[in-house]
Structure 1
Amino acid sequence: MLSLLHHPNLVSLVGYCADGDQRLLVYEYMALGSLADHLLDINADQIPLSWHRRMKVAHGTAKGLEYLHEKANPPVIYRDLKSPNILLDEEYNPKLSDFGLAKLGPVGGKTHISTRVMGTYGYCAPEYIRTGQLTIKTDVYSFGVFLLELITGKRAVDSNRTANEQILVNWAKPMIRDRRYHELVDPLLRGEYPEKDLSQAVGVAAMCLQEEDTVRPYMSDAVVALGFLAEVPAGCEEKPSTVPQKKEAEDPSLTNSTKQDESTFDRQRVVAEAIEWGAMRQKQKAQTQGKATDSGCIIAPTEGNMV
């Protein structure tokens, strides 16, 4: 399957070797290894990932999923999104790897495919665990968990933590519901993140983690929202300048490029704010219906056979 897929945010298959019953796949070299090495398994000598780099990784990962879901033909459901499967090059550009669980998505008007529940505990969408019905929105839920990992620096599942902190989604749910976003942030960031960006990133995660798969966003929406966050360096909220320094020497092609960049930037900002607003509306709707315990927000998987 991977030999037919080509995107900057997917690892490239260089070649393969078959000798007797031995099989070997050769992938492109990724200088910095997996994201887990820089986010979840860091030691005292390592410098923690900055907020900007975390958003850059989130954006690139979202673009890889967008390609699989909305541009590949037929669509591909990745089914195993997690930090160890995201590889980084020397510039921290992320690439999806390990397509062993990937499945071709539904075609011909079908809404889902039915399959045995596979994946990694803590990342699987609740409806997939209950029914075995697989859709692209299953990956969207997993992306929400992945984004929480980037924000918090915590594993999706960690048996070494106290009972109420072992499942990341369960631990984060009350803080998302009460908008106590600063309590979610990885302490290793030492407060070095834009509060507005944090609010919007959590909003994207919350929308991806909706219990009802139909109200989760498409990955193209997440790409736009996270593109805005990835473009703003940590601690800087200044918009790109639209005023040329030397008007008399203005290059029309550069002016058009600047206007295009400004338009893209504004669109990304609007989508990010809309997703954040959508998360708030889901919460308010649930509270109105007397479901404040769920808050219309997120639910963690509690059963199912997973590997």
Structure 2
Amino acid sequence: MSPDRDEIVEQGHDTLADRVVPQWPLSKESFPTLQLHLIRTPRVSKNLTFRQLMTLLEKSPVPEVLLYQAEPHRLLFIICYSFAFVFTVYGIMFLDWALEESWLIYKENYDDLPTVHNLAFMLARGLSALAIFAVPTLIVVTALMFPTRLIRRLYFYPVTTTSKEPLIRFVVYPLIPRTSSPVITLPLSQLDRGKNWGKTKVWTADGLYGTASRSQFFVFLFEKGSRIPWIVDRQGWFWGDGRVWDVLFGKESVAEAEKGLSGDDYIRMEQERRKFIKAEKKKLLKAGKPLPPEMVEEDLDR
């Protein structure tokens, strides 16, 4: 059902070197270091349908089921730390220059302004510099906080006599290497993968677990009431396949997920539907017939 303990990525074992010292050549860092094909997971087959797979998960005899795990990706950390370093340097240089210029203009008083006006203009210039400095500061904070939103492992806890709904528990990277990894536990209803089926579906029908994508490297899980997502690497290990995530976090029905339609399939179907409605609309207008209410209300130019 779930991987053995020695197959699970341990927490708190990532040092600073693990994050910033890549393997050479760098192309090695674009592939998972976990032997994904060797980690056990039930798979849909002739003897196990997707509906049975979901039943196996929801009625699991074990108290927790590992749904996902991934190994550190050094290039992600290197990119984040590089962004943080570059924007820190540029931000400090800009702030130093701007404040020095503000003081020089105030001191020299080229326009021979009254003291009060001169002081007010200096304060305004200083506040403007601080406002602009907030932009690189935000980028630096975002880059440094990125690891704390990157999920390392994610567990599913079925409904029990003490819990009214399934729980999701996941481990993220600590802000400081070699410290305890934060563990977050939320009800399943508090997490979703986004509302746009075409763009947020986990299942792509490609890769070992049907989660590989050339355009989307991550899956985003949004906590209710928050716009900052938790981040899941599509190259990680998944229990079952990506359709399990679409049922749990996309709130799709088992029957809908069982069809195996990817996000691209939904986008293509939606484009064909809108194309058909546009053609029918033109025919009705040309014939001088009234349009059905649903055609009048729908915006086909979005």
Fold similarity call, TM over 0.5: no
TM-score by length of 1: 0.21
TM-score by length of 2: 0.22
> Which structure: larger Rg?
2
